[in-house]
Structure 1
Amino acid sequence: MRNFFQRVLWDKNMDKGSLRVKFISRGVSGELDEFTGEQIREVTRDGVVIVVDGKDKFIPFHRITEITYKNGKIVFSKQGAFYDFKV
């Protein structure tokens, strides 16, 4: 997953706006939140740092539940035990 997010951060050919990442967030009702590839600021060993309302927020990889790309194609699904990072 780390390599995939590094690619999102640096690959100019990727459409960052069409990448959607759902994750468990205890600070939101329903406990699920979402960010786009455009919000990624940094990739660390254990997760990603995104920018929300001008502030950095760390999302650990283990809290990511689903990643979709272009037209809703599922790239990763924790529930479905599916991953295909070849986009």
Structure 2
Amino acid sequence: MRTSHNLLLRIWHDPEFDMKKAAVYYTDRGAPGDISVAEGEFIRKPERDWFEVETEKGIKIIPYHRIRKISYAGIPLWEHDG
């Protein structure tokens, strides 16, 4: 089974993918519906336990366990099944 972390790294590193076409939906308490979306062009530095998102307020660190869905060019590639 592919994890959200592995998929994000694949999109980040594989030249067949364009990170700008990716979107990561994640739990964000206080956001509408408690979900926010990180568009690929704003994702920075996928690390071992988290990835960074550039926001208008600065860099936000998102742990992988908060990811709910990853889509590419509008097509869902991975969804949390819990």
Matched, 1:46 2:45: no
Identity %: 29
- Structure 1's unaligned 5+ residue stretches are 82-87
**2:80 is aligned with 1:78:** yes
Runs of at least 5 residues in structure 2 that lack an aligned partner in the other structure: none
1:10 Cα deviation from its structure 2 partner: 3.5
TM-score, reference length from structure 2: 0.78
Report runs of 4+ in structure 1 exceeding 6 Å deviation: none
How many positions carry a matched residue from both structures?
A: 79
Stretch moving more, 21-30 or 4-13: 4-13
Give yes or no for the alignment of 1:36 onto 2:39: yes
Residue 24 of structure 2 corresponds to residue 21 of structure 1: yes
Instruction: Choose the corresponding residue for 2:72, options 57, 65, 69.
Output: 69
Deviation for aligned residue 1:47: 1.4
